[in-house]
Amino acid sequence: MHVLILGGTGEARRLAELLTGRALRVTSSLAGRVAAPRLPPGEVRIGGFGGADGLAAWLREREVDAVVDATHPFAGTISFNAALAAAATRVPLLALRRPGWVPGEGDDWHEAGSLEDAATLLPALGRRVFLTTGRMGLAAFADLDDLWFLVRSVDAPEPPHPARMEVLLDRGPFSLAGERELLLRHRIDVVVTKDSGGAATAPKLAAARQAGVPVVVVRRPPVPEGVPTVAEPEQAVRWLTDVRDQGSFPDAG
Binding mask 184-203 for ligand NAP (x = CB under 6 A): ----------x---------
**Contact criterion met (CB below 8 Å) for 70 and 197:** no
C-beta of 115 vs 243, nearer to ligand NAP: 115
Write b or e for each residue in 30-64: b if 16 or more Cβ atoms lie within 10 A of its Cβ, otherwise e. Answer: bbeeeeebeebebebeeeebeebeebbbbbeeeeb
Contact between 134 and ligand NAP per CB under 6 A? yes
Shortest Å distance, C-beta 33 to ligand NAP: 5
Contact between 29 and ligand NAP per CB under 6 A? yes
Q: Taking the mean position of all CA atoms in its chain, how far away is CA 182? A: 22
Shortest Å distance, C-beta 37 to ligand NAP: 9
Contact between 132 and ligand NAP per CB under 6 A? no
Give the list of residues 6+ apart from residue 6 with CB closer than 8 angstroms, or none: 12, 29, 67, 68, 69, 70, 71, 78, 82
Shortest Å distance, C-beta 74 to ligand NAP: 4
C-beta of 77 vs 114, nearer to ligand NAP: 77
Strand 215-218 vs strand 190-194: parallel, antiparallel, or unpaired? parallel
Contact between 114 and ligand NAP per CB under 6 A? no
Binding mask 48-87 for ligand NAP (x = CB under 6 A): xxxx--xx---------------xx-xxxxx--x------
Q: Which residues bind ligand NAP (CB under 6 A)?
A: 6-9, 29-31, 33, 48-51, 54-55, 71-72, 74-78, 81, 134, 194
